[in-house]
């Protein structure tokens, strides 16, 4: 039996990178996957892969900063599968890696918070009532080590990711009595399309800076985050809520 058999899981950012890897793994572990992304073409390919592998999944186009689109996504999930048990807030965008406060464009700041923080708030807001109806659930939010460490992604990015920790802890306390758990993963540098800018010749020194701070000496793989998310989504973590889990190659141990 799969570790998520019988559960319905909504995963944002499921069209690529960490979200796609989570969607594939959750499908293999028995979850009915509701993949959400703005890039419907890429998302559909992931959904088709899950189905070809014997899983069950649907694709939903979703702008995570829109309350209306979140309401529709939750409605579609419930209409299709009858419930929502798991929400993985993965979708996000990267800001300028070296954006200091006095250099930060206010519009870019607003964009980072609207997507990286508000998106997870809205997903949680609309998923929690459905989880409560089914006796509980698990919310897994993908933040970043930039939430607690400076110099890991730019001021606006770090501020948004730090907000996810506060969001998670408040949900954990407020809804524990309803058996809704909330935990946050803090990835270090992971090799995804979002981090592709670090592979350019211009970013060579920045990449080496991050590698020098990583005790394991290499960037992580999307599967490293997917495996952590699977554990927190599954019943194996039934007594774990409100925690910050670094998956960072040891950066935060420095």
Catalytic site residues? 157
End-to-end CA distance of the chain: 39
Residues in CB range of 140: below 8 A, 6 or more apart: 86, 87, 88, 89, 182, 183, 184, 185, 229, 232, 233
> Is the CA virtual torsion 20, 26, 27, 28 positive or negative?
positive
Residue 119, number of CB atoms within 10 A of its CB: 27
Position of tokens 């599954």? 234
Per the CB < 8 A criterion, the answer to whether 158 and 165 are in contact is: no
Residue 155, both tokens: 């001021």
State which H helix or E strand residue 207 sits in: helix 204-212
158 CB neighbour count, 10 Å cutoff: 23
Distance CA 244, CA 106 (A): 29
Return the residue matching tokens 């211009």: 202
CB 3 within 8 A of CB 25: no
Alpha-carbon Rg for the chain, nearest whole angstrom, is 17
Torsion over CA: 63, 226, 228, 34 (sign) = positive
Cβ count within 10 A of residue 100: 9
Dist. CA 11–CA 119, nearest whole Å: 12
């Amino acid at each position: 039996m799969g570790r998520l058999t019988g559960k319905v899981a909504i995963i944002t950012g499921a069209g690529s990178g960490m979200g796609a890897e989570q969607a594939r793994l959750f499908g293999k572990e028995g979850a009915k996957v509701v993949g959400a992304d703005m890039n419907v073409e890429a998302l559909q390919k992931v959904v088709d892969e899950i189905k070809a592998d014997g899983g069950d999944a649907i694709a939903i186009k979703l702008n995570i900063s829109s309350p209306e689109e979140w309401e529709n996504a939750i409605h579609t999930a419930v209409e299709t599968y009858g419930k929502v048990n798991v929400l993985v807030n993965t979708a996000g965008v990267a800001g300028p890696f070296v954006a200091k406060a006095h250099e930060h464009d206010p519009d870019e700041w607003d964009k980072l918070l609207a997507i990286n923080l508000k998106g997870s708030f809205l997903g949680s807001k609309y998923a929690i009532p459905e989880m409560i109806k089914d006796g509980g659930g698990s919310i897994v939010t993908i933040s970043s080590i930039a939430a607690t460490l400076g110099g890991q992604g730019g001021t606006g990015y770090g501020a948004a990711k730090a907000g996810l920790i506060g969001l998670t802890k408040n949900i954990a306390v407020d809804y524990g009595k309803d058996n809704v758990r909330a935990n946050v993963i803090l990835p270090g540098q992971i090799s995804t399309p979002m981090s592709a800018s670090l592979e350019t010749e211009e970013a060579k020194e920045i990449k080496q800076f991050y590698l020098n701070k990583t005790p394991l000496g290499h960037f992580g793989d999307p599967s490293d985050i997917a495996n952590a998310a699977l554990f927190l989504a599954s019943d194996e973590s039934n007594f774990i809520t409100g925690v910050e889990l670094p998956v960072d190659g040891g950066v935060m141990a420095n």
